[in-house]
Structure formats: C-alpha cells, structure tokens
Amino acid sequence: MWRQVRPYLEATAGVAAITAGLAALASRLPVANLSLLYLPWVVWLGARRGWGPAAAASALAFIAYDLAVVPPVGSFAVGDLGQVPALIALLVAGLATGQLGAAARAARAEAEARERESHDLYEVATAALRVPEVATALDLVRRRVEALPTVGSAAFCAAEGDHLQTVAGQDLSPDLRRQARWAWRRQTPLGLALDGERLRLLRQAGATEQVGILPLAAGVAVVRFQPPELSESDLRLLAALLGLGGLLLDRRRAALEAERARALAASDRLKAAVLSSFSHELKSPIASLRAGLTGLLAPGARLGPGQRDLVRTLDLEAAHLDRLVGDVLALARLEAGESVRAEPVAVPELVGAVLHRLAPELGEARIEVHVPPDLPPAMADELQLDRLLGNLLRNAIQWCTPGGTVTVGGRARADRLVVWVENDGPPISAEDQEHIFDTFWTRRQGGTGLGLAIARRIAEAHGGELRAYNLRRGPRFTVSLPLATPVAP
Amino acid sequence: MSGRVMVVDDEPEMQRALRVGLGYHDFQVRTAASGEEALRQVPGWRPDVVLLDLGLPGLDGFEVLRRLRQRDDRAAVIVVSVMPDERDKVRALDLGADDYVVKPFGMDELVARIRAVLRRQAAVAHGEPVVRCGQLLVDLGRRRVTVAGREVHLTPTEYELLRLLALNAGRPLTHRFLLARIWGEHALGDTYNTRYIVAQIRRKLGDDPTHPRFILTEPGVGYRLQA
C-alpha cells in the first residue's frame, strides 16, 4: 500500500514546493510562463515513478499554478486571458512529458529484463555445454527451469523408438507418461502453445496446477506450473531453456547412435574376420589335397589307368568338399548380413563371364542365350549376382537331360530386370516346390542343398525375388532385380 | 615349355604338392616358406615365375609383391591364395601381379596360367608388334585392328583400351588400371566408363558379350583379352 501511495505523495510534495517557489518569484519578478519550471519534475516522475504520478503531478501543477501564481492569486479565476493558453499548455505538456518519461522507464525495465534473461541463459548454456555427460547438463537446465517463478517441477524425457525415458527430473506418473507419449507421437504440444519463438501457457479455468508438454527434436519437455501467469520475460526464458534442453536431447541421441554404429561395425568386423579365418582353415587342406591329387594325373607321374581313375574320383570328392565349404561360408556371410555393394551391372557380360567359367562343367549340355546385348543394367552387387547366376546355371546344367538344353533369358519390365534360367529336365513336383529353396535340402546325388537357398537369399538382399515354375518343356527359375538408371558418359 | 618356378607358401603340404606336381610338367621348382626367404632367394636364382600366397606369416604377400616390383625384377608373379574377398585380387593386380589363381585349384589350371604368363614374357621380350587372339588381329605398329581380315575402325579411346588389353593378352586388367591409363588418375572411381567403352569395342568387333570370343569379363575385377 505504502509503495503504491508514496510516488503520489512525492508528486504532491514536489508540486507544492515548486509552486511555493514560483509564487515567491512571481511577486518580485513578473515573468510569463514560469509554469515551464514544473516540467522537469513531471519528466523525472514519469521516468522514475511511472505515468500515474507524472499525470497526477501535471494536474496538480495546473491547479496550483492557477491558484497560487496566476493573478488574482487565491482564486481559480484568470485575470489575464492571455494566461489561459499557458495553463492549458502546462497541462498538456505535463501529461505528454509524463507519458514520455513513463515510456522510457518501461523501455529501460524491458532492456534490463532482457539483459538478465540473456545473462541467465548464457550462464546455463555454457555450464550445460561444458558438462560432458548429457544427463548432467540436462539436469542443470531442468534446475534453472524450476527456479522460474510459478514453475513447480520440470522433466526432460528422451524418446527411444516409441518409449520415453526420463533423463532429467522425476519419473512421470503413468498418466502423464501417456500424455507425453501422445504429444511425442503427434509432435503436438499439450497445455501450452508455441507460435514461432513465443511460448504461451494454456490455462484451464479453476485448475490449481497444470502441466505443459513440449515435443522436442529427440524427446519431450514436461513442465508443471501454478497460476498466476509467468511474465513475458520469464516465458521467453522458459522457451529458450526448453530449446536448450531439446539440443541436449538431440546431442544424446547422436551420441547413442554413434555408439551403436561403432558396436555394429565392430561386430561386423569380428564376423568377417572369423569367417575369413574359417575360410582359410577349411580351404587350405582342401587346396593341398587337390593340388597333390591333380599333380599325380600328369603323364610324368606314370600312373596306370586304374590308379588314374581312382585319383580322379578322389579329386572329384575334394572338389565337392570345396564347393560345400564355399557354399556354407557364402551362406554364413549372407546370414551375417553381408552388405550389398550395389552398382549398375551389365547382365549380358556377366552371363558371358559365368558361362565361360562353367564351360568345363557343361558336359553334353547345350546352352541357349536369349539375353539382348543392350539390356539396361541392373542395380546389383556384381559378385553376389555372379554367384546367383552361377548357382542357377549349375543347377540347370545338372538337371537337364543328357545332351539337353539349358536356356538363359533376360528382359527389362517396368522398373525390374528379369532373368530366367530353364532346363529340359523333369518338372519340380508340388511337394518339392515347397522345399527347393530350403537350406541343405537336395534331390540330387552329391548336391550341397545350398545353391538355390543362397541364390534366393542374394535375390532378396537386393530387394528382388527368385521363383520356380514348371513350363511344358521343363522347370524355369526367374529372378527379378531392380534396374539401375544408366548414367551416360 | 618349361621354366623356373618359385613357390612361396607357408603350408608344407602345398609346397610338396606343387614341387612334385609342377616337376611332372618339367618345371624347375624351388620353395620358400616366408616372404623374407623368397626375397632373399629371388635375386640369386632368378625364377621366371613366382607363385605367391597372400596369407604369409610375417611379411605378407602384398608387401613381398611390392618389394619385388620395386626391384624391377623380371619374374612374373601369379598370386595363389584362398581369397574370400575380390578386393584382394584387385589390390594384388594393381600392385603388379601378372595373374591370380584361387585356391583350391587343379594342377591343369595352374599349369595353363603359368604357361600363359611365360608365353607373354617371351612375346614382350621379342617385342612382337602383332597380337593375335583367334580371328582378332591387333597390329600395334600400324595401329590397325582386323577381325577375320575385315578392318575395324575404333575411336582413339577404344583403340587405346584394346591396345592395353592386347599388350597384356591373357592378363586381367583392373578397372582402376584401365581408368588411370586412359583418362588419368583423376578419373578413378567410376567403372561405368570402362564398361561403356568395352561394350562399344565388343559391338564393333562383333563380339557377343554373352559368348565372348575376345574380351573376357572378370566380375569384380576388370577385363582380360583371351590369350
């Protein structure tokens, strides 16, 4: 009460003192417009005490000047009409300067508030960013939010998938957690509104405590507050602090992702190293075996026909073992998630390379190729596609009738490249259809039961598919792969 | 055709198999169990071909290859290795290997590769100006290319690529090697250029990519001219 009345008493006292002085001065020194001497006082009041005291002082000065200085003294009557404009000017100028002073005061208060805000934010931000652990930094921000007037408590929760984990502040109640998840999923604030940089708290009539939930880049901020309303500057500070919390949550997410990527890469390296060492351990003895056995087939070794036959059979066994090991390792690499290094691949030349490699295995089979040389390139890992085509062709060669024909064809259809391999062997029974792509399932003597399983996995790893059909002339395997957009040189 | 072959492999069984097997084909064979030993023996014995395993203890195969090539040694190097990764093949070829054979292999295949390398060495030594590959004739002196006597007109880039393949007939050339030789080091990285040029050459030579007679594709590596 006293604080509110005091400026008015000051204004009154000041006006009284100035009037007394002016009255004494006017009796000795008749000067027009002595009333101007009130103005500095009115301006001072406006700047220091606000517009109310300044306006009151201005009105009082008007009355007191008329009563005590303008002749006839002691009466409201104005003897000289020329004094009337001066009196009105005094009133208007008083009110106007009071207003100016008050505006200057408000501006200064605003500037001070902004400076305080920036300073606070700077302190929190530098402290938070200096802390290496994101959770500690978030806790610093949370404590600053809770220091704002009317704010009860605050919490920052990080989103991990659909789950929210409280990183700073107290755990949310189940009810609040549900609301927070809702806000996060829809990226919609609850209990507050954000227009650009401006934050507004939405109040429910009669509520004693309310909750505001703001979704951030990598989580949500939850703030409980009680009426009355926060000041504009505190709201700005709150918005900035929540923004800072958002940055920290984002930093936490990036750090976690980097950590996960490192762990994944380490596990991939480990898998690759284990498979590579396995490959070496398993293949080295087979290599010595095959080199030794085939070495004995040279005429210089002087083996008899029966012995040569035995050695050749043993080498075939060794070669079979080699293929089995190769297939098992290839399957292991695919199952370990071997990456697909996709690039535009010219399928006609790859078919040519595979057929050239398989020439020694052809036996009596004939190959017919219906792959146009200008087929657009597929988007594929060349080595994996090489293995896929090799497996399909080897399967077809082994199933076709003696002296029969294996056909390879290809064409582009919409955004897919379709390649098929067919043979003139017996059709695949309905029962077998269900198993031919299973691992270690084979109907063939000496087959590994892996060739088609690997082929299908490679097709699927490329976002394509591999299917088997029975045509009238024999079984057909069709693989579809994504087309690459060719880049003209 | 015979010659001196040095086998560099740390597996005693493989050493013995190759010593015996290659011996039956009239090659003189010496073995080394490590890269260091091979580097010591090569200058004195002067082998024609070094069969180099990549997974050696101590100095690995790549390093041995690099040092052999630094010495400007005339020995051809065939990399013989259990290689699960095609990148190792490319790396060995880019370091100057003449060819590679993947373990396990049959002796016939290995002997064929060794003979091809020896033939190439002989051709280079005589500076033969005409390279023949079936009906394809590349006359390096007159810059003339014919297929079954019919002259084929190639653009300068196409001729340069075919010339490189012909000079190294039978040897796989990597995309990287071809790109760097034709377009310079700045062109590295995009294999589409070599693929495109090879497709053009094949078309002009009448070489069906699905039944190649002249230029063979080495998946994941590059190209080789049928020797």
Same domain, B12 and B29: yes
- Return all residues near A444 (Cβ < 8 A) that are at least 6 apart: A398, A399
Same domain, B12 and B74: yes
- Check if the beta carbon of residue B58 is closer than 8 Å to that of residue B35: yes
Cβ burial of A411 (10 Å; 0-12, 13-18, 19+) is: middle
User: Looking at the complex, does the CB of residue B195 fall below 8 Å from at least one CB of chain A?
Assistant: yes
Residues of chain B in contact with residue A342, where contact means CB-CB under 8 angstroms, are none
Residue B124 has pLDDT above 80, yes or no: no
Q: Using the structure block, give the residue that is written with the tokens 């014995």.
A: B45
List the beta bridge partners of residue A192.
A201
Whether B218 sits inside 8 A of A353 (CB atoms) is yes
CATH number, span A133-256: 3.30.450.40
> Torsions phi, psi of A183, nearest 5?
-60, -40
Size of interface A-B (CB pairs under 8 A): 131
User: Looking at the complex, does the CB of residue B191 fall below 8 Å from at least one CB of chain A?
Assistant: yes
Same domain, B57 and B80: yes
Provide the domain limits for residue B49.
4-125
Please report the residues numbered 376 through 435 in chain A whose beta carbons come closer than 8 angstroms to any beta carbon of chain B.
Answer: 382-383, 386, 408
Out of B25, B104, B219, name the one closest to residue A300 (CB).
B25
Least confident of A72-86, A121-135, A267-281: A72-86
Amino acid type, A365: A
pLDDT single digits (tens) B31-54: 999 999 999 999 889 999 999 998
More confidently predicted of B184 and A482: A482
Same domain, B32 and B107: yes
Distance from CA of B211 to the nearest CA of A (A): 5
Cβ burial of B143 (10 Å; 0-12, 13-18, 19+) is: exposed
Out of B85, B193, B209, name the one closest to residue A348 (CB).
B209
More confidently predicted of A472 and B187: A472
More confidently predicted of A482 and A448: A482
CATH number, span A341-482: 3.30.565.10
Strand order, beta sheet including B4-8? B28-32, B4-8, B49-52, B76-81, B99-102
Residues of chain A in contact with residue B104, where contact means CB-CB under 8 angstroms, are 283, 286-287, 289-291, 318-319, 322
Extract the tokens encoding A143: 């404590």
3-state per-residue secondary structure call for A327-378: HHHHHHHHHCCCCCCCEEECHHHHHHHHHHHHHHHCCCCEEEEECCCCCCCE
Residues of chain B in contact with residue A275, where contact means CB-CB under 8 angstroms, are 84
> Which of B125, B141, B173 is where one domain is finished?
B125
Q: How far apart are CA A450 and CA A327, in angstroms?
A: 6
Residue A485 has pLDDT above 90, yes or no: no
Same domain, B100 and B9: yes
Q: What is the pLDDT of residue A262?
A: 86
Q: What is the pLDDT of residue A477?
A: 94
Domain count, chain B: 2
- Please tell me which residue of chain B has the smallest CA distance to A369: B210
Strand order, beta sheet including A210-216? A163-168, A151-160, A219-225, A210-216
Give how far Cα B188 sits from Cα of A169, B175, B180, B182, B185, Å.
55, 9, 6, 10, 6
Cβ burial of B8 (10 Å; 0-12, 13-18, 19+) is: buried
Alpha-carbon Rg for chain A in angstroms: 46
Q: What percent of chain A has pLDDT over 70?
A: 96
Residue A488 has pLDDT above 70, yes or no: no
pLDDT single digits (tens) A89-128: 777 877 787 788 778 888 888 888 788 878 888 888 888 7
Give how far Cα B85 sits from Cα of A337, B14, B45, Å.
15, 21, 32
Same domain, B119 and B43: yes
> Which of B74, B109, B125 is where one domain is finished?
B125
Same domain, B81 and B172: no
Query: What CATH number did the domain enclosing B42 receive?
Result: 3.40.50.2300
Least confident of A58-72, A387-401, A459-473, B19-33: A58-72
Same domain, B62 and B152: no
Q: How far apart are CA B102 and CA A347, in angstroms?
A: 24
Mean pLDDT, chain A, as a whole number? 84
List the beta bridge partners of residue A302.
none
Q: What confidence category does residue A489 fall into, taking pLDDT thresholds of 50, 70 and 90? A: very low
More confidently predicted of B186 and B132: B132
Query: In chain A, what are the domain boundaries?
Result: 2-110, 133-256, 267-333, 341-482
Q: How far apart are CA A397 and CA A423, in angstroms?
A: 7
DSSP per-residue string spanning A202-244: PPPTT-SSEEEEEEETTEEEEEEE-SSPPPHHHHHHHHHHHHH
Comparing C-alpha atoms, which of B201, B52, B126, B199 is closest to residue A350? B199
> Which of B125, B141, B170 is where one domain is finished?
B125
Same domain, B115 and B179: no
Whether B210 sits inside 8 A of A383 (CB atoms) is no
**Cβ neighbour number for residue A396 with a 10 Å cutoff:** 25
Q: Write out the H or E segment, with its range, that includes residue A474.
A: strand A474-482
Among left, alpha and beta (phi > 0; psi -120 to 50; other), residue A477 is: beta
Q: How far apart are CA A180 and CA A188, in angstroms?
A: 10
Q: How far apart are CA B48 and CA B5, in angstroms?
A: 6
Same domain, B157 and B105: no
Q: What percent of chain B has pLDDT over 70?
A: 94
Comparing C-alpha atoms, which of B58, B97, B67, B70 is closest to residue B81? B97
Q: Using the structure block, give the residue that is written with the tokens 């290599």.
A: A287
Residue A288 has pLDDT above 50, yes or no: yes
Strand order, beta sheet including A465-471? A366-370, A405-413, A416-423, A474-482, A465-471
pLDDT single digits (tens) A3-57: 788 888 888 898 889 888 888 887 777 666 677 788 888 888 877 887 788 888 8
Same domain, B219 and B143: yes
- Check if the beta carbon of residue A208 is closer than 8 Å to that of residue A224: no
Residue A487 has pLDDT above 50, yes or no: no
Same domain, B59 and B104: yes
Q: Please provide the size of chain A in residues.
A: 489
Residue A261 has pLDDT above 60, yes or no: yes
Residue B201 has pLDDT above 90, yes or no: yes
Q: What is the pLDDT of residue A478?
A: 94
Residue A486 has pLDDT above 50, yes or no: no
User: Looking at the complex, does the CB of residue A360 fall below 8 Å from at least one CB of chain B?
Assistant: no
Residue A354 has pLDDT above 90, yes or no: yes
List the beta bridge partners of residue B80.
B101
Q: What is the pLDDT of residue B50?
A: 95
Query: What CATH number did the domain enclosing B172 receive?
Result: 1.10.10.10
